[in-house]
A and B are shown apart, each in its own frame.
Chain A
Amino acid sequence: MSDQGLKSAPLLPPDAGRDTPLFAVAAILVFLAGLAGLGGVGAWRAADDWTNQLTNEVTVQILPTEGRDADADARDGAEALRAIAGVRGVDVRSRAQSEALLEPWLGSGGLPEDLPVPRLIAVELDPTNRPLAGSLEAALADKPYRAALDDHGNWAEAVARASQAVRYFALVLVVLLSLAASAVVAFAARASLAARWDVADALHIVGAPDTFIATLFQQRFFLLGLKAGTLGALGAGLAGAGLAYAGGTAGALFFLPTLSLGWMGLIILPIAALASGFIAALSARLAVSDALHKRWS
């Protein structure tokens, strides 16, 4: 009999039955970590969009004064603001538009004519050439009507704080899920080694260093982690796309910015799958090395 053309069998025998529950747990953990990561990225981008919108726009309220035409005052104020360097555009909102904004709180029954509804001017600023501090207020200071300026500073700060909290929450979640995955894989690697001491002993006796044996387990668990991670990441991608679609629809309905993942969303999932493989490999290597060291100390 000859040995020509034959390939060597893997030194670790297949362990499919024992690996299936671990595969499922790893896939679920990566799915959750992927969703947390996507959520963090989405919240980050949304918060950036909101902050940009808030900080690059100023709202001016023209308060109605008895005996004066508030709409004419608003137009006059808009002209004064438009002339300032750094103002990209102004948009005067009519009484009807102001009433529409109040409708969710005051109902749709129509407001009494004598109710003093402020007129709003949305002032869009050039982010690369912002007006000098105080120039907007100065432009309206000498006018015969009252005007109040809101630079959205309070809102922007609140949104920044909220987005920061969401980012940290997502990060903590990803770290916790990674730790859980490491612990599960380390446990499984020890169980796998315990079931395969015959192989480890035989290799040890014929002169295999601990690193050689640990590498066998490391490779097995890397592939398992990578496959489970790919499945979990695909699931997270599909779920994220579904949420983004639903979020877009809801955003359009409730005047919210849409959830957009961008390129970060595209790379976070392959990274999650790869990270799953590496975490599994490292956990398995450390667990097996420790067990071998104790057995043959």
Chain B
Amino acid sequence: MVSTPSIAPTTGSHPAVRFDTVGMRYDQGPEILHNVTFDLPQGGFQFLTGASGAGKSSLMRLIYLAKRCSSGTISLFGRNTALLGREELPDMRRRIGVIFQDFRLLNHLTVFENIALPLRVAGQARKSYSEDVMELINWVGLGEHTHSYPPTLSGGEQQRAAIARAVVAKPDLIIADEPTGNVDPAMAHRLLRLFVELNKLGAAVLIATHDHSLIRAMDAPVMELKNGTLIHGEAVS
């Protein structure tokens, strides 16, 4: 493995994520999350678990600013997201790397182009990031697939590409929504090791999963959502 890319930690006393009695509903529908309160410290590592439909993905959406909460306060790196102007949201999103169960890679772009997407969107020239992206591609073990298209990759390879895309811009926070849902157990544990390494480099990590074997493999705090309500430190059976 080549040297790991550096992910600069953010210094400061604010947690990476702070939820304070957060409630959320879609339009006029029923409340999906009720009174959710938790902190994810900078450089911390936590799991979020719960049955399907418990509200894990909705909570993740709130963190990556795809939705706004309907009550309570959400702070990211000490900033109240309700007070962020629309023009400030992209900069805040760039501090967050997001990984999905279904990868969300763009099938018409190569692995290289998918991974470099955050840098391209940030206006960087290809020449300026080409070397770093190649290094990252090799680090996640996709060196042979640099110019392949996502549909030609296995689930595990696609997820590694998605992880590389999430971390290429050196985010302060990495959130993963069921990142191992479409890969076999061996690959799931390999991906978990990737998250651990990224966390060691300074990024806060929050993984939403209902894969208990994954949670048991780590000594990390676990939050459980039950019908939209958060239960801290529940034992995982």
Contacts and interface: CB of A to CB of B under 8 A. Distances in A.
Chains A and B belong together in one complex: yes
Interface of A: 1-4, 6-9, 11, 13-14, 198-199, 201-210, 212, 296-297
Nearest to A4: B130
B113 interface: yes
Most central of B68, B113, B121, B144 by chain A CB within 10 Å: B121
Contacts, number: 74
Nearest to B131: A3
Contact of A202 (B86, B89, B104): B104
A203 B98 CA distance: 12
Contact of A204 (B66, B86, B112, B126): B66
Given A1-B147, A205-B93, A8 B120 contact: yes
Interface residues of B, number: 36
A79 to B, nearest CB: 84
Nearest to B145: A1
A7 B126 CA distance: 8
A91 B36 CA distance: 100
B118 interface: yes
B133 interface: yes
Nearest to A210: B86
A3 B117 contact: no
Contact of A3 (B89, B91, B122, B130): B130
Interface in B41-71: 64, 66, 68
B113 A203 contact: no
A13 B113 CA distance: 13
Q: Is the interface of A mostly helix, strand, loop or mixed?
A: loop
Q: Is the interface of B mostly helix, strand, loop or mixed?
A: helix
A13 B117 contact: no
B223 to A, nearest CB: 22
Nearest to B91: A207
Given A207-B93, A207-B94, A9 B165 contact: no
A9 B108 contact: yes
Given A9-B109, A202-B117, A1 B90 contact: no
Nearest to A212: B121
A3 B134 contact: yes
B130 A296 contact: no
15 contacts: A1-B144, A1-B146, A3-B134, A6-B112, A6-B126, A6-B147, A9-B109, A13-B108, A202-B104, A202-B105, A202-B106, A207-B91, A207-B93, A207-B94, A209-B87
A9 B122 contact: no
Contact of B126 (A1, A8, A208, A212): A8
Contact of B104 (A1, A11, A14, A205): A205
Nearest to A296: B66
A208 B66 CA distance: 12
Given A1-B146, A3-B134, A9-B109, A198 B104 contact: yes
Interface in B114-160: 116-118, 120-122, 126, 130, 133-134, 143-144, 146-147
A1 B148 CA distance: 11
A3 B112 contact: yes
B227 interface: no
B146 A203 contact: no
